[in-house]
Every structure is written in structure tokens, then in C-alpha cells.
Structure 1
Amino acid sequence: MTPHDTPAIDAAALAGLQAWQGRSETLHDQIVASPVRALSATLDRDDPSPAAGTPLPALWHWLYFLPHHRQSEIGPDGHAKRGGFLPPVPLPRRMWGGGRLRWEAGNPLAVGDTVERRSTIVSVEHKTGRSGELVFVLVRHEVHNARGLALTEEHDIVYRAAPQPGEAAPAPKVAPKDATFSRDIVPDDVLLFRYSALTFNGHRIHYDRRYVTEVEGYPGLIVHGPLIATLLVDLLRRHTGDAPLARFEFRAVRPTFDIAPFRVHGKPGADGKSFALWGEDAEGWLTMQATAVLA
């Protein structure tokens, strides 16, 4: 079956997918130092070498609880085959749509922590838009260390239909022009490869140019949504001097491709603790919106 043959999701199929609501899984891991060093190098930071007790920067928990599916369990897009913990959505394009995170005061994740992540599928929703069918899966993660709950994250996963011949792209939004601090990012193959490797992400849209252009119909490799979110928070860290976060919310607006440099921007709110953050592609279009609140 080709992407264009993907069946419509009727009421019966949606009911089957929604049977996954309420499913949960629990994973365990340890926050070791080597991925912290590696991501620091990938983001071109000159951080001290992490040691036991070093606080984990915001969003760097994505270096842990990685998927370890066997090679025979990988699907044609490089993700694990549909089913298992996540519902088997029969739409070929899968993206990280955004998320909302809240850190517990006084209990930061740190190098050396033994951690547990409890994940629950909260909802499965189906919509039809200009670009065809969409399925939204909301997953809630709760991350605990020995001291208790440290982080709550809501993760939005978006599944989309394959592009149709002649299909018009959604109308882009112009990025704001009132940033007070910014950084230019060159999304070359090495940056994307290193982040894929660090997160054990086999999704071919991030490294297989022929697949992403010929099968999924995009103009170039797609920069990981979590990488852009991490770059936004990293920009804020460079501006505030590593002040810890209490909350962070982000939403992917438009894919970012590796065919041109892009920019990340920020500006403070009137209260001095909240910040607007956003990504902008080389054409000036908004690619990601985010809000961060300092602890």
C-alpha cells in the first residue's frame, strides 16, 4: 500500500484507535553524564563537564527513556511499527506537534538520578483539514526521581495524511520582528544526525533525503521539533544565565528544513519571568511558538 492508498478513518476505525485511551507504560532509566556532554557539544556550548548532582537543563530529559525497539520492529518510516503503546494510526506522516511541561520546585532532575517515567495516553482525536485527515494523540508523562515527582509533560503527536498531487501548502504566518535576543542556526546534516543519534531517533525524515522528498513529499530534511524547542530553551539559557524553568509550552507551526539557515528568537514579558520564544525560517515565516516561565 502506498501513502496515497491510506484508508479513511471512519467511525469504527476511530473507535478502535480510541480504545488506546487510558493505556499506560512505565519506564526506568538513569541520568548518566555522557549524553549531557554530547548534547552540550552538539549545541556548541562550552559547559563544565557534568558530575553527579549537576542539574539537568530543561528539555534534556529527552536524552533518556529512549525507544529500544528491535530492528525487526521498525516500520518503513524508521519509527517502530504502529501499535504497542501508541495506537496504530494508519496515516503515514507523524510529527511532534508540541507540548507543555511543568517542573516541580525544589526537585530538579540531576546527573546521577535514577528516574521513572509513567506515560498515559490521554486522548485520540480525529479531524479533517485542508490538508486531509489528521489524528492527534495526547500523551502525558510524569517523571519521578528518588525525591518524588520532578516533571510533568504533555506531548502532542500529530499524524497526517500523505500529500496529494497539486495540494497547496497551508498559508504561512510571518514571524514577529520584535525580538530582543536571537541566534542563527545552520541545520546541516551533521547537526541533524547527531541529534537523531543522541535521541536514538530512526525517523527517516531527519536523515534520509530521498525518503523525505520522494515518499513524504517535503523539500528537504526536516529539523526535529524537539531540537528546535531545545534550541529555543538554549537561547534563553544563554540570555538568562541558566535560570531554571518552571513551565514551558511550545507548538510547531511550520516544518523547518535543512535547505537554509533559520533563526531562534526571544523577548521578555513585562513581569520579567516569562519569555516569548519563536523560530523563524529563512523566508521569514514562523516555525515554532513557545512560552517559558522562569522558576
Structure 2
Amino acid sequence: MQIDLEHLQEWIGREEHTGETLTPALIARFNATFDRISATEEGSDAPALVHFCLGQPNVPTAELGHDGHPARGGFLPPVPLPRRMWAGGAVEFHTAIRIGDHVTRRSVIEDVRVKRGQSGTLCFVTVRHHVESGGRAALTERQDIVYRDAPATSDASPVKTPERAPFGKYRAQVLASAPLLFRYSALTFNAHRIHYDLPYVQGEEHYPGLVIHGPLQATMLCQYAAELRGSTPTSFRFRSRSPIFGPDVFTLNAAHDGDALNLWTAQSDGSVSMEATAEW
């Protein structure tokens, strides 16, 4: 497919501003989704990466694209490739987001680039998010989005055999159930059909099962790192290697790397899905 890169790069520098008050009720739903316990009172520090659930675009249902995402050409450039995935990102934590604060996000398109290889045409869009909590700088996030062609049939699926890794020194098992995927989609107001619509996933995107959200895996890895070290990291970087399809069991893994932690999610056979690094 031919892509007019010069046209898409006109979106570089475009900004979007959103905001939302972080309520105790949202924290309670967040904790319920992840089977975790933490303070929910106003003034308390919020869990790491809860900002993924805040300030999401309130696009009317009639304006969603066929895949459930907002129609392209607004804030994000109108990339003509059908598959969209969260490829990875990096977060620098400045101060904690506090429950009860009004949380704002200023998002900027930093880069649009195209790569062509054996797997076909890929278009990468880089977005920088600047998040404030109660007027204080809370975190800065780089988000990497990748667009690609969908195969014509399931036999042509571009999903590669992922690299396998041994279990980490620290390991926890997670059941990626359909209710977990649904709840996380609801928390993040994400209507992308690959996470809940199995006939669409198998019949149109030719994946073998529901796709486990990248941000969900990143949130679990970041929380796992904070649990192991007793505090939220100051820096957290992650990159998707291969999808995990559910419902299924996967593991969170961690190993020391000097003062840092290397982390990864792995499927039941040890295949790596997402890798991350947490630093303090």
C-alpha cells in the first residue's frame, strides 16, 4: 500500500488537551479489575499508570471506525493501514498522581515515519504526553503506536514466533480472562474490537484469540516492579514483542540488572510478549 508520508507528517506538532478528576470510585474499580488493594481516600497516592484510564477521548459511538477506534484524521494522523497496536513507550515519573486531583494531559504528535520490510509496510506514530495532577507535573510519557496491514486470510497472519526466555527470578501467574479484558477496556474507554469481539478478531484481523492489551501488561509489570522494590520506579520503559492471545494464562517475570529490574510477560510456553525495564 502506498502511504503519503508527507501528508501524514503534517500532523507532527498537533496537540490535544484532556482532563479528568481522579475519583475514589475510579480507583476502587481499578483495584477490583487488578485484584489489588490500595488506599482509595482523597489525597492518597494513586497506583502507577492509572493515568491510562484518565482523559480518554469521548468520541460518540457513531464516529467510531470499523475497528472500534475513533475515526482517524483528528488528533492522530489518518494512517490508511488497518491494524493499530500500542508498540511500547516510556514513562518518567515526577510526582505521584493523587486521588481527588484534577489530572490534565497535553499530548503532542512528535514523529510519523514509515518502515518497509519482509512483514510489509509499517507506520510508526510517536506521541508525547505531559500529565499534571493538581497543577503539579506528575509524569511524562512517550507512546509508540504502530499501524500495519492485515493479512487476507488466517494462513497469512503476520504474527511471528516470539523469542522464548527462561522464567525470571521473580514470577507471578495471571489469568487473562475475558472479564479482565472487558473490564480494562471499560476502565480505559477503549472500544477496540480486538480485545472483546472474537468473531471480528478471528474473521477480519485473523488473530487466533482476543488480544491482551499492551497497556494492561505494562500496568501489571510496573505494579509488579513497585511491589518487589517497595516503591514506584522513577523510570519505566516497555516494548511489545509479540501479542498474547486470550483467554489464557501468562506470567509476569522479573530479574535484577544492577539497581534496575528487567521485566517481561511470557506466555505459558515461555514466549516473550512484552519486555520492560524499571529504574529507581
Distance in 2 separating the partners of 1:171 and 1:189: 24
Mapping 1:59-78, distance limit 5 Å? 59-78=49-68
Higher strand share: 2
Q: Is the 8 A contact 2:151 2:157 kept in 1?
A: no
Does 2:7 correspond to 1:16?
yes
Match of 1:182 among 148, 171, 180: 171
Aligned AA for 2:87?
G
Structure 2 unaligned blocks of 5 or more: none
Aligned AA for 1:120?
V
Q: Which residue of 2 aligns with 1:82?
A: 72
Structure 1 unaligned blocks of 5 or more: 1-7
Q: Is the 8 A contact 2:18 2:104 kept in 1?
A: yes
Q: Which residue of 2 aligns with 1:122?
A: 110
Does 2:267 correspond to 1:281?
yes
Give the CA deviation at 1:172: 3.0
Q: Which residue of 1 aligns with 2:143?
A: 155
Match of 2:207 among 204, 218, 222: 218
SS in 2 for 1:77: coil
Match of 2:23 among 22, 26, 32: 32
Q: Which residue of 1 aligns with 2:254?
A: 266
Does 2:187 correspond to 1:201?
no
TM-score norm. by structure 1 comes to 0.90
Does 2:51 correspond to 1:58?
no
Q: Is the 8 A contact 1:98 1:250 kept in 2?
A: yes
Mapping 1:241-256, distance limit 5 Å? 241=230, 243-256=231-244
Does 2:216 correspond to 1:230?
no
Cα deviation code 1:105-155 (max 9, x no counterpart): xx3211011122111000001111222111000000001233432210000
Q: Which residue of 2 aligns with 1:293?
A: 279
- Identify if the C-alpha distance between structure 1 residues 17 and 253 changes in structure 2 by more than 3 Å, giving closer, same or farther: same
Q: How many residues align?
A: 279
Cα deviation code 1:246-294 (max 9, x no counterpart): 00000000001004311110112222xx110001112221100000112
Q: Is the 8 A contact 1:29 1:65 kept in 2?
A: yes
Give the CA deviation at 1:83: 1.0
Distance in 2 separating the partners of 1:217 and 1:24: 34
Give the CA deviation at 1:41: 1.1
Distance in 2 separating the partners of 1:173 and 1:89: 26
Give the CA deviation at 1:174: 3.0
Cα deviation code 1:167-215 (max 9, x no counterpart): 3645434333151111111111101001011111100000000000000
Does 2:94 correspond to 1:101?
no
Q: Is the 8 A contact 2:226 2:233 kept in 1?
A: no
In the TM superposition, structure 1's runs of 4+ consecutive aligned residues that sit over 6 Å from their partners are none
Distance in 1 separating the partners of 2:247 and 2:21: 36
Distance in 2 separating the partners of 1:130 and 1:233: 33
SS in 2 for 1:284: coil
TM-score norm. by structure 2 comes to 0.95
Q: Is the 8 A contact 1:122 1:139 kept in 2?
A: yes
Distance in 2 separating the partners of 1:259 and 1:31: 30
Aligned AA for 1:91?
L
Q: Which residue of 2 aligns with 1:4?
A: none
Match of 2:98 among 97, 101, 110: 110
- Identify if the C-alpha distance between structure 1 residues 168 and 211 changes in structure 2 by more than 3 Å, giving closer, same or farther: closer
Give the CA deviation at 1:82: 1.0
Does 2:27 correspond to 1:41?
no
Distance in 1 separating the partners of 2:84 and 2:206: 13
Give the CA deviation at 1:22: 0.7
Identity %: 41
Distance in 1 separating the partners of 2:188 and 2:178: 16
